[in-house]
A = this chain, B = another copy of it.
Amino acid sequence: MEKQYVVGIDIGGQTSKLGVMDARGDVLAQTIIRTDTFGSDADAYVAALAEAVKTCINQAGKTPEAIRGIGVGVPNGNYYTGEVAFAPNLAWAADKSVFLAKMLSEAVGGMPVSLTNDANAAAVGEMTYGAARGMKNFIMITLGTGVGSGIVVDGKVLYGHDGFAGELGHTSVMRQNGRLCGCGKTGCLEAYCSAIGIARTAREWLEASGQPTPLREIENITSKDIYDAAKQGDNFSLRLFDYTGTLLGRSFADFIAFSAPEAIVLFGGLARAKEFLYEPMLKAMNDNVLKIWKGKVKIVFSQLKESDAAILGASALAWEL
């Protein structure tokens, strides 16, 4: 009998989402486990993940024999080696390399496991099922807690010499006096244009100016608070999105000079603020590209449900096994 199903896993800082899928991307069963309750104990996390995989296959009414393999999207995941290396948001891989693909495969009785970083997985998902269908050259930018990226060239994810290509969240937007990023460097795109980044900008601006804004009443400002305030017409919050969009657009201009994509595809929590980010982003991008690209590169937003894109993308990896 042909192996007709795959498991897709999206590992995030807080939760890990799993799904069993058929070749059309239809989800037969789905489950979620915590990622952040295992401290630095990678073995314990992998054991829990393996259990969840088995349960999920069971819930789908299938046997392990019907499963072709497991695809995993995970921050700082390496496609070539199957390792997760120095991932600041994963306590069990924050200061070391964890060979997750091998460990998980062994824990589920030898089922093959393919792994890549979460943004690459999302790019594959978007190319197979979403906004990038039919595109051969695009750059996926995930605007979540951090900023991730997956670069697709001629229909294939760019992995580079060592498998770690596509870390555009850690390119520079501020060469001087840049903010400290979670990675240890300063001035990274992620330190400004992630959900956490825009909240940091808000706090800096609140201290520096006396402009009235409902954000002053909030103790721990999140990007969601800023979005809600902008929705109410709060000028301070609208300026925050304008600034963040402008920084993103400038960075996109540099990315275009690299791989000349057909489109930049945006995904993740902060990308939901499309209505406030799109115009400044597009303007800054077109203001900073060479003449040959002005007005030519699209900025599009993911068409997949966030929870689905990464699992679907991860599952697409498994079909290649």
Chain B residues with CB under 8 A of A183 = 290-291
Contact partner of A160 (CB less than 8 A), chosen from B137, B165, B168, B185, is B137
10 contacts between A and B (CB under 8 A): A85-B292, A162-B292, A165-B258, A166-B258, A167-B290, A168-B258, A172-B250, A183-B290, A185-B290, A258-B259
A161 near B136 with CB under 8 A, answer yes
Q: Is A260 an interface residue (CB 8 A)?
A: yes
Q: Is A164 an interface residue (CB 8 A)?
A: yes
Chain B residues with CB under 8 A of A257 = 166-168, 170-171
Q: How far is the CA of A145 from the CA of B290 in the complex (A)?
A: 18
Q: Is A293 an interface residue (CB 8 A)?
A: yes
Chain B residues with CB under 8 A of A305 = none
Q: How far is the CA of A161 from the CA of B293 in the complex (A)?
A: 11
Output the residue of A164, A168, A255 with the most chain B CB within 10 A. A164
Chain B residues with CB under 8 A of A151 = 258-259
The minimal Cβ–Cβ distance linking A34 to chain B, given in whole angstroms, is 26
The minimal Cβ–Cβ distance linking A119 to chain B, given in whole angstroms, is 12
Extra A-B contacts (18), CB below 8 Å, given A138-B161, A162-B296, A184-B291: A86-B291, A86-B292, A137-B160, A153-B160, A161-B260, A161-B261, A162-B260, A164-B292, A165-B260, A166-B258, A167-B257, A167-B290, A168-B257, A170-B257, A170-B290, A175-B175, A183-B290, A185-B288
Chain B residues with CB under 8 A of A250 = 172, 175
Count class of interface residues, chain A: 35 or more
Q: How far is the CA of A64 from the CA of B175 in the complex (A)?
A: 54
Q: Is A221 an interface residue (CB 8 A)?
A: no
Q: How far is the CA of A217 from the CA of B242 in the complex (A)?
A: 49
The minimal Cβ–Cβ distance linking A204 to chain B, given in whole angstroms, is 17
The minimal Cβ–Cβ distance linking A278 to chain B, given in whole angstroms, is 21
Q: Is A11 an interface residue (CB 8 A)?
A: no
Q: Is A43 an interface residue (CB 8 A)?
A: no
Q: Which residues 124-174 of A have a CB within 8 angstroms of B? A: 136-138, 151, 153, 158-168, 170-174
Q: Is A262 an interface residue (CB 8 A)?
A: yes
Instruction: Name the residue of chain B whose CB is nearest to the CB of A167.
Output: B257
Top 8 nearest A-B pairs (CB, nearest first) are A160-B260, A165-B260, A137-B161, A161-B262, A171-B254, A167-B257, A164-B260, A171-B257
